[in-house]
Structure 1
Amino acid sequence: MKAILFLFLSILLFEAPTIEKDRERWKPYYTEVTPQKVADKWFLPFDVADRKKVSNIKIISIFGDHRDSYYKGHIHTAIDINPSQPKAKLINVYAMAHGVVCSVHLGENQKTVVVKHTLKDGKDMFTSYKHLKEVYVSNGQQVDQNTKLARLFTKEESKKYGGDYHHLHLEIRKKFDDYGCASWLTFNNNQLNKRFYNPQFFLKENIK
């Protein structure tokens, strides 16, 4: 009886994490920097035969479905992708356009690099690259489509974490006011549409 009462009280007292409550924890990893060049040409984030051909990637998981990892029921804020024909066992990840690294955060199987871009109309947006084994850039570094940001896990390396981490979780972001935590704390479409574009649509519109 005491155990049941303790469990009931624990449930009552437990506060589910929210973006607003968690964002400050990730703010120290963010650097406010300005890209030196406008992002006017976009490329696939992999070293493939043609980085302007969307069919050179394969989509493993779509944007907007519900997930049980991290916090059960959160919405997938990205597409998970791999090269359709990898050139090598070790798959490198490249910046998609001119920009500047504004955040390198998380660790282990969730290492993340975020690049800030300025568009032709002066607006800012962000590309976020997650599930990185090794990171080769740092905050404040100006990048372009030829900058190697990181590399992905191999299948063998990802087994250590009991999951499928040998892919790129690619987010196309309207804003980065959450400093990264919205990746696992987005639970409704209002939150999703406030911060994220559908990467699949973005690629089709901009990789030409």
Structure 2
Amino acid sequence: MASALLSIARFLPSQKADSEQTGCFGNLRSSFHGKLLCNPSPMRTQISRIQVGSRIAVVASVLGRRAQKKETVIPDPDYRIPIVLLGVAGGLAYTDNFVPAVPVGLLGLLLLFQTTRVRFVFDGQALEVKVGEQLEESGENVFVGGKNRWKYSTFVNWELWWPNFPILVYFKETQTKPEGQIHFFPVIFNGKQLYDVMVERAGPSKTSAPK
């Protein structure tokens, strides 16, 4: 009888062995139906919590970067400058001053045409000049060469003349050439929108500010 009991005991898994092998059966209990109840070990629970916390941190980081992404801003067109120029040209022609009236009128017509098609596009990284309703690329700059796209990080300074009735926008950047390249554009866009987005993306201007 003792020999038989010893033989049976060899084939029965001990509670300690199961606990060490699986790490899951720390407290074994038999139910009425013979099902085993398993309590997870503290070590495995802690590892699971660390893994879940890491996943949450990664997701939060990705969502944070997406939330910080700046939207594209396109200032509205402003026809005041070409209208003023055409009005001045008309007044000069009315007083028989045709010599100055012609160039002023031509400039007004050119700016009127450009106002309908040229757009300043401020994306998350750079200012780009585009044309048309489909915002097509404007090609190379006819004066200094290169693409009409400049990163905000290369802006040295910019100005808006004059803030109450903006006529010109100026900025200097080091992307085109290391010593700096100056650009002038007529303000054929909403001056307030243009100023606000320039301050946000390129930093405050040194001297100009709308009143």
What TM-score, normalized to structure 1?
0.23
Task: Indicate the structure with greater helix content.
Answer: 2
Instruction: Name whichever structure is richer in strand by fraction.
Output: 1
- Max Rg structure: 2
Structure with greater contact order relative to length (CA < 8 Å, sep ≥ 6): 1
